[in-house]
Chains A and B, each alone.
Chain A
Amino acid sequence: MTQVMTLALDFLFGPFVDFAFMRQALVACLALSLGSGPVGVFLILRRMSLVGDAMSHAVLPGAAIGFVIAGLSLVAMGIGGLIAGLLVALLSGLISRYTALREDASFAAFYLMSLALGVLIVSTHGSNVDLIHVLFGTILAVDRTALVAIATVTSLTLLCFAVIYRPLVMECFDPGFMRAAGRWGGICHGVFLVMLVANLVTGFQALGTLMSVGLMMLPAAAAKFWARDVWSLMLTAAAIAFTSAYCGLLISYHAGIASGPAIILVAGGAYVLSLLFGRADSLRSRYLRSSHLTA
């Protein structure tokens, strides 16, 4: 019996006890989950799910330029990505405000140009292996500087959420009311976009530009089937994101597969399970009727 216990403990925690890079990866994932989960919840509440996807592609040329200048450094690539992402967000916002083109269409136009430019830069200046690194990330190579950068962004994200929580929630619920109440609506939208880009950028060292949005959207979408308040949605999303990251790392270690896709696939599994068995509005609650109440 004790032998089974030891085996189980070794299976679940061994990799993190034995290897520093696994520990750092786990801490990085914890930080990423705390930031990305709540951001994802607001992306869904604001009906901006696909904007998150577009932004994750839009940061590529900035990251690529950072990569060309400083090599595989999260800080240089992060700053580049941040600038590229904010530029695309700003331009799309301006275009949709001053022309008839809707925001989703102008986002799509810019992120496609941005993505093509990014792939072009990386492919002319680096090897294919580098391109793979940028696109798919390597969480197992997160170093101390990267860890500090990720933790900083997460802390700032949570602080920002604390500061703009009320106006942000109201802006999602009733934008017209906030417009009449003053400037907060616009401020929230701006701050939120910056938070989105910053979290995507920190996510891509770990998961790659293509998949960092996965740790935002999948846990947030899964949380919708469990929680019914904004704060509990945020908490649930962060918890699901971290659990997925932990399981993903474990699977990637034991099965010897890439960590990024493993994490996102586990998050996908969590989403499917929530969809089927969740407490709120899931397929189970829809098709398995429990007896109704009196009022």
Chain B
Amino acid sequence: MVAEPVYAATTVPLATGLITFDNLTIGYDRHPAVHHLSGSFRPGSLTAIAGPNGAGKTTLLKTVTGLLRPLDGEVRLNAISRRDIAYLPQQAEIDRGFPISVGDAVAMGHWRQIGAFGGVTGALMRQARLALNAVGLQGFDSRPVGSLSVGQFQRMLFARLLLQEAKLIILDEPFAAIDAKTTNDLLGLILRWHGEGRTVIAVLHDLEQIRTCFPETLLLAREPVGWGPTAEILTPDNLCKARAMIEAWSEEAERCRR
């Protein structure tokens, strides 16, 4: 038996992963943010990505969603296309004062069914209302999005995610600046998606949250520190390693020869 590298998901062979990284190096303008990452996300897995600021977490998510091209290596999607991915960015370029009602904004989660011209039928509207109820925003349909607080806005975006019925859901720090009650409600939705067999990847900073809700963790610090079952990855030793990460960005950096 060949020992697998520590950072590969230990439970599955690489070929059956939903997303597989093959010696992936990503970054901006030839300067890498994450070096030489290999491993894969199992279909139906619930994985947290943890690591200090500047560890390359967001860069990794952007590469998976196709917003960034890898500097080296590749990302392989297996049995899904980019359109099956629902992505909630950390700082969405959403115009929060836009004159649109909460109901309309959420109903656009049906985009894959209705596209640019399809009608929003009564059934689809009902689903949108149910999604609003599920995130605790019942009765908000006709309110303008500009009147929502930050937490309520995040709930609304989760309602839209609910309608998208995506096979892969990617969340970038979904609970930043969100109170405990909202966080708990939204965590419940994430567990519901997990129960429905969807693959969920979330960048999180709260280690307690990760330990209680996320079976698997990828600990990132510009290089993979560990990737596997959460209990085995979030060890004091690994966390120490992650903290010691150097935020090196040098104009004169040499070519990487690994």
Q: Which residues of A contact B (CB under 8 A)?
A: 45, 164, 166-167, 169-170, 172-177, 179-182, 184, 227-230, 233
Contact = CB atoms under 8 A, between A and B. Distances in A.
Contacts, number: 54
A218 B17 CA distance: 55
Contacts of B108: 170, 174, 177
Contact of B93 (A174, A182, A230): A174
Contacts of A176: 87, 89, 92-94
18 contacts: A164-B116, A170-B108, A172-B98, A173-B94, A173-B105, A174-B94, A174-B105, A176-B93, A176-B94, A177-B92, A177-B94, A177-B108, A177-B111, A179-B67, A180-B65, A180-B83, A184-B116, A228-B144
Given A167-B116, A180-B82, A230-B100, A172 B87 contact: no
B95 A182 contact: no
B189 interface: no
B61 to A, nearest CB: 12
Given A45-B95, A177-B92, A179-B67, 20 more contacts: A164-B116, A166-B116, A166-B117, A167-B116, A170-B108, A172-B98, A173-B98, A174-B92, A174-B93, A175-B93, A176-B87, A176-B93, A176-B94, A180-B86, A182-B83, A229-B99, A229-B100, A229-B101, A230-B99, A233-B99
Contacts of B14: none
Given A180-B82, A228-B144, A173 B100 contact: yes
A133 B255 CA distance: 61
B116 A45 contact: no
Contacts of B112: 181
B85 interface: yes
B92 A180 contact: no
Interface in B23-70: 65, 67
Interface residues of B, number: 23
A176 B116 CA distance: 16
A169 B99 CA distance: 10
A172 B93 CA distance: 10
B94 to A, nearest CB: 5
Contact of A45 (B83, B93, B98): B98
Nearest to A227: B99
Contacts of B67: 179
Binding site secondary structure of chain A = helix
A181 B111 contact: yes
Interface in B69-114: 82-83, 85-87, 89, 92-95, 98-101, 105, 108, 111-112
Contacts of B92: 174, 176-177
A22 B50 CA distance: 70
A179 B111 CA distance: 12
A274 B117 CA distance: 34
A228 B85 CA distance: 32
For the complex of A and B, the 4 pairs showing the least CB-CB separation, nearest first, are A173-B98, A174-B94, A167-B116, A181-B111
Contacts of A227: 99
A244 to B, nearest CB: 22
Contacts of A173: 94-95, 98, 100, 105
Contact of A180 (B85, B95, B116, B144): B85
Contacts of B98: 45, 172-173
A179 to B, nearest CB: 8
A233 B99 CA distance: 9
A86 B94 CA distance: 28
A80 B83 CA distance: 41
B169 to A, nearest CB: 12
Contacts of B117: 166
Nearest to A232: B99
Contacts of B144: 228
Nearest to B117: A166
A180 B144 CA distance: 24
